Structure 1
Amino acid sequence: MPYAEIDSETKLYYEDKGEGQTVIFVHGVMMSSKFFHKQVPYFSEKYRTITLDLRGHGQSTKVEHGHTVSRYARDLKRFIEELNVKDVILVGWSMGAFVLWDYVNQFGSENIKALTIVDQSPSDYIWPGWEYGAFDFEAIKGVMQVIQEDQNGFNSEFIYGMFKQKPDPKEHEWILAEMNNLPASIESAIVFNQTAVDYRESVSNVDVPTLICFGTVGFFPIEAGEYIQQRIPGSKLVAFDNSSHLLFLEETDKFNRELDAFFSSL
């Protein structure tokens, strides 16, 4: 299995298929590269399609430290350097979008051709004057406790919120297995950090073509996507009316077509 060495303790698992323009898919918190299993066959016919597991997630090293969005962004930078790819298109879903924004904040967009943001508000926290988050203090406090006391139960229930339609048992089963592969200690650390980060002001640092895809039923209102679109010049927002958070699984054909059209237009 292919791994990229990030440091002496950390190796990131990845899959690399196809040839041409490089596209890297970055998953969300508690998830893994496996979530893009309906994208890889489609995009690898035309593009070099890379999926990776962030540190601690999926099949990557279960290293206990470094579980912050900013560290994940540095890992992504190191990963891109390790594979020696140029002018990449980055697709960030959920927390993966945070990783992309943090990457741009730290390193700029010199080696980035375009971004795709998938269903992520600029901040998960409901700050004063910011209603487009997912958690207030009481909610995140409760999440931290239940992850430590009943990780399986929390993860299992969390899955239903990611779908507009109730997933079939087999789909729920594999998703839960992927989520449970993340140690509870790591899960609670990164869930808290990604809830506390705030890119409302710095999202406007993005200066490359950007596609924004939002489900209209679920974690974030479409207004969060509109906020992003208004602050990234020339960006495009696409709504997925039959999806919650997992729009690339619920509306796969539309998702793949929209991204393909965007990539082809660059």
Structure 2
Amino acid sequence: MAFLEIDSQTKLYYEDEGEGQPVIFIHGVMMSSRFFHYQIPYFKERYRTINFDLRGHGRSSKVEHGHTVAQYARDVKQLIEKLKLENVILVGWSMGAFVVWDYVNQFGTENIKGMTVVDQSPSDYLWDGWDYGAFNFDAIKGVMQAIQENQLGFNSEFIFGMFKDKPDPDVHEWILEEMMKVPASIASTIVFNQTAVDYRETLSNVDVPALICFGRDDKFFPVAAGEYIQERIPGSKLVPFEKSSHCLFLEEPEKFNQVLAGFFESLKEG
């Protein structure tokens, strides 16, 4: 457990465990590194696992600036450089997948061995002719207003939408605790930015092996969004999770770990 200094005001909380090929886990908007608590103990036995909180989230600095997907990708770049990581595997869940794609836009894939996209459409916004988003303008306006006026109530209800089945009260409690660590000003800012980005054209630039994991219960995105990604990333593999919605690594952790482990092993053979 340590902190990485990005600038004079910004420090990222991270956990660096295990040895071997590095794997970086990147969480979703308003969430934290704590969501991967089933993955780190499993993978740190065979890999060097890097689990961190994006700026403004979890235990990282609550700075008021830099809350864009593009800046989060630059933060990942600094993390990789300052920890001297090579041939990195990136695992991006939800907005974390946006961070991965934005990283590709800015820096390419020279030091990236492979990537995993976890339940994220290439764009959250329902553009004309795009059906695999989650928000139109009125919806995102309503989300931002709810965060500003009743963050606790919004977050509490939001959690239920992330699971196929109603989560255990203890799970709901710790997730709500993590979400409330993000100040409302930061949450509404990054929610808007990550809704406005569009990575459909980025997919063709991904030239490393990619694993795509989607929950079958489509409270957020349909598996068809994963099929769209698979069709545009050559050689990528799509795995649906039949008993999950958005948090498949919590809903089906054993299957998730096994699928990722198989993918990681295949990268060693390549």
TM range (shorter): over 0.9
Quote the residue 2:246 is aligned against. Answer: 245
How does the TM-score come out when normalised to structure 2?
A: 0.98
Amino acid at match of 1:30: M
Q: Distance in 2 between matches of 1:22 and 1:201?
A: 27
Quote the residue 1:185 is aligned against. Answer: 185
Q: Percent identity?
A: 74
Q: Distance in 1 between matches of 2:182 and 2:82?
A: 24
Amino acid at match of 2:214: F
Aligned positions of 1:93-108 closer than 5 A: 93-108=93-108
Gaps of 5+ in 1: none
Q: How many residues align?
A: 266
SS of 1:150 mapped into structure 2: helix
1:21-47: per-residue Cα shift (whole Å, max 9, x none)?
A: 110100000000000000001001111
- Residue 202 of structure 1 and its aligned partner are, at CA, apart by 1.5
Q: Distance in 1 between matches of 2:11 and 2:228?
A: 36
Aligned positions of 1:164-243 closer than 5 A: 164-217=164-217, 218-243=219-244
- Residue 216 of structure 1 and its aligned partner are, at CA, apart by 1.1
Aligned positions of 1:35-74 closer than 5 A: 35-74=35-74
Q: Distance in 1 between matches of 2:115 and 2:70?
A: 17
- Residue 57 of structure 1 and its aligned partner are, at CA, apart by 0.3
Amino acid at match of 2:78: R
Amino acid at match of 2:166: K
1:174-232: per-residue Cα shift (whole Å, max 9, x none)?
A: 00000000000000000000000001111211110000000011200011000000000
Aligned positions of 1:130-169 closer than 5 A: 130-169=130-169
RMSD, aligned α-carbons: 0.6
SS of 1:7 mapped into structure 2: coil
Quote the residue 1:256 is aligned against. Answer: 257
Q: Distance in 2 between matches of 1:49 and 1:84?
A: 13
- Residue 7 of structure 1 and its aligned partner are, at CA, apart by 1.1
Amino acid at match of 1:38: Y
SS of 2:5 mapped into structure 1: strand
Q: Distance in 1 between matches of 2:252 and 2:169?
A: 19
How does the TM-score come out when normalised to structure 1?
A: 0.99
- Residue 9 of structure 1 and its aligned partner are, at CA, apart by 1.1
Q: Distance in 2 between matches of 1:223 and 1:177?
A: 32
1:142-184: per-residue Cα shift (whole Å, max 9, x none)?
A: 0010000000000000000000010111110000000000000
Q: Distance in 2 between matches of 1:22 and 1:202?
A: 24
Amino acid at match of 1:207: D
Q: Distance in 2 between matches of 1:11 and 1:81?
A: 15
- Residue 241 of structure 1 and its aligned partner are, at CA, apart by 0.8
SS of 2:6 mapped into structure 1: strand
Aligned positions of 1:20-35 closer than 5 A: 20-35=20-35
